[in-house]
Chains A and B, each alone.
Chain A
């Protein structure tokens, strides 16, 4: 799975509370998407374009485990999110809602605001098309790629009910 898009850069330890502020948690995804990350970069929700790539530092998406943070980001139409590292619930939720996520140590050093990046989920490689700099992380697990290809966890479970609906363990 490959993505190419203009990148937007965010720092370390961005909590879900900054992706979806408490006053928007009951709003529809379209409203959350119009305010996503606005406190950190007011331009982002206004000017992000479909296919753009969000680049972030360490422990991106810490705090709440609610999937709305990933859905709000997905609602902007970005192609994928690449971070030095993710909070694990955020990483899990990305795949479950169908938003590609890639963990690449060193990505913030090679990306400048507005550069066009190329990211490959199956190899884990990221390239800055302007400078040619590359970095790579671990590719996403096969099960997670299958989840993305199905369109998320709910679609995967619907398409392959034997995965979760099989005989009970106890």
Chain B
């Protein structure tokens, strides 16, 4: 059995499971942000109302708000705080960072766990070797909170094997965007994806993170990187350390394997209206941008902030563009301070925002007027997610975002 099957078999108390089978499995961690937490707690109070036997297995992170801009939103956060106090679940309040980054940094996710959440990017935790699946509020309220259980259809697994050494200037984010277009949105519906191959294996943890992040746009249920020495060293340094024992795949090859050579991939921009609409940066270069942003599930990493500082060394942000930087967690902001990146980017004209999920859905920042455009490290570019349906969101690597901030238009980073 592969990693997904091993985890589901263990958590459902069965010796083995088969793709297609529906099992009821024990859930180790429920992750919610301030919006999904509000919706889930509402359903729970209204329709379920049973005791929560394992409140320690739920984490809520306020990441769509770093500070509520309206009374209605203040009410949402107030309700969530009260609910967290009453039920005893874990809460990380405004300013803690992006939900998924804060969960990992806080040691709430470990290899071998079953992690659920209604944020659609919950599968990103497959980067740690967890089985991480997005479920809806009614699963959380109806079975996860009261029983620590959820139903799962055992997915078929597809191997995504990446080979080759990309050319200079092409980053893992570019490879991930390119791969989404190559495979196709929805093409992996209901599947589990194993990201593997020499290209994936040589990446550090936070670069591997960018691959399970995209699996939802391919339609996949979950994806993972088989835990190895990179994973173990990373997890060992987190609160709670590395578990003594966790499931591992038995090395059998997936039912089908897709192989890709990344050697010729050039820097990519996912253009509106969907994530799979990736093009070479050079094809889109010159499109004026009103906003550039480092942030969201995939951005605001220390790697991204360092890249921006390198790109902007000796340069300033273009007067037409606002360059907003949203650290992915408090730890990353502190590290950026220690490395002198905060002052350097501030003096180059960038604006620092509190650790959060940034302009994701424009709940507390990032709304655009008709005709405006943003280039960002975010995960989504659907029209209407950031203000006007006639505004445009372009998704790119930190290098492209920073080069575009300096140029005032979509621009490729000059090769370092």
Pick from A88, A152, A164: contact of B149, CB below 8 A: A164
Contact B120 A96 (CB under 8 A): no
Contact A66 B36 (CB under 8 A): yes
Contact B189 A88 (CB under 8 A): yes
Contact A67 B118 (CB under 8 A): yes
Pick from A13, A88, A169: contact of B10, CB below 8 A: A169
Give the residues in chain A near B348, CB-CB below 8 Å.
none
Say whether, besides A13-B185, A65-B118, A141-B22, A169 and B136 are in contact (CB < 8 Å).
no
Bound complex: CA A72 to CA B76 (Å): 20
Looking at the assembled complex, report how far the CB atom of B145 sits from the nearest CB atom of chain A, in whole angstroms. Answer: 11
Bound complex: CA A39 to CA B149 (Å): 37
Contact A22 B385 (CB under 8 A): yes
Looking at the assembled complex, report how far the CB atom of A31 sits from the nearest CB atom of chain B, in whole angstroms. Answer: 13
Task: Flag whether B43 is at the interface (Cβ < 8 A).
Answer: yes
Closest to A98 in B: B138
Q: Per-residue CB proximity of B129-158 to A under 8 Å, as 1/0?
A: 000001111110111001111010100000
Contact B135 A63 (CB under 8 A): no
Q: Which interface residue of A17, A25, A58, A92 has the most chain B CB atoms within 10 A?
A: A92
Q: Which interface residue of A13, A15, A58, A65 has the most chain B CB atoms within 10 A?
A: A65
Task: Flag whether A89 is at the interface (Cβ < 8 A).
Answer: yes
Contact A64 B118 (CB under 8 A): yes
Looking at the assembled complex, report how far the CB atom of A108 sits from the nearest CB atom of chain B, in whole angstroms. Answer: 14
Contact A153 B138 (CB under 8 A): yes
How many residues in B have their beta carbons less than 8 Å from beta carbons of A? 56
Looking at the assembled complex, report how far the CB atom of B39 sits from the nearest CB atom of chain A, in whole angstroms. Answer: 6
Contact B120 A143 (CB under 8 A): no
Give the residues in chain A near B117, CB-CB below 8 Å.
65
Contact A62 B217 (CB under 8 A): yes
Pick from B26, B38, B186, B219: contact of A26, CB below 8 A: B38
Give the residues in chain B near A76, CB-CB below 8 Å.
none
Task: Flag whether B12 is at the interface (Cβ < 8 A).
Answer: yes
Contact B11 A169 (CB under 8 A): yes
Give the residues in chain B near A89, CB-CB below 8 Å.
118, 120, 134-136
Q: Per-residue CB proximity of A143-170 to B under 8 Å, as 1/0?
A: 1000000001110110000011100111
Bound complex: CA A136 to CA B406 (Å): 54
Bound complex: CA A64 to CA B33 (Å): 12
Task: Flag whether A6 is at the interface (Cβ < 8 A).
Answer: no
Q: Per-residue CB proximity of B351-369 to A under 8 Å, as 1/0?
A: 0000000000111000000
Contact B120 A63 (CB under 8 A): yes
Bound complex: CA A92 to CA B134 (Å): 10
Bound complex: CA A18 to CA B363 (Å): 16
Contact B151 A65 (CB under 8 A): no
Bound complex: CA A66 to CA B380 (Å): 15
Bound complex: CA A76 to CA B242 (Å): 49
Give the residues in chain B near A141, CB-CB below 8 Å.
22, 153
Contact A96 B382 (CB under 8 A): no
Closest to B11 in A: A169
Contact A65 B134 (CB under 8 A): yes
Task: Flag whether B411 is at the interface (Cβ < 8 A).
Answer: no
Say whether, besides A15-B382, A62-B186, A88-B219, A67 and B11 are in contact (CB < 8 Å).
no
Looking at the assembled complex, report how far the CB atom of B314 sits from the nearest CB atom of chain A, in whole angstroms. Answer: 38
Bound complex: CA A39 to CA B185 (Å): 22
Q: For window 359-416 of chain B, which residues contact chain A by CB distance below 8 Å?
A: 361-363, 380, 382, 384-385, 389
Q: Which 6 A-B pairs have the closest CB atoms?
A: A59-B186, A169-B13, A67-B136, A65-B134, A154-B142, A93-B136
Knowing that A67-B39, A168-B26 are A-B contacts, what are 13 other residue pairs whose CB atoms are under 8 Å apart, sorted by A's residue number?
A15-B274, A17-B385, A18-B384, A39-B384, A59-B189, A62-B219, A66-B136, A68-B39, A87-B219, A96-B136, A141-B153, A152-B138, A154-B47
A-B contact pairs, 26 of them (CB 8 A): A13-B186, A21-B384, A22-B362, A22-B384, A59-B186, A59-B219, A63-B120, A65-B36, A65-B122, A66-B35, A66-B136, A85-B186, A87-B186, A88-B219, A89-B136, A96-B138, A96-B139, A96-B142, A153-B142, A154-B48, A156-B142, A163-B24, A164-B149, A165-B146, A168-B148, A169-B25
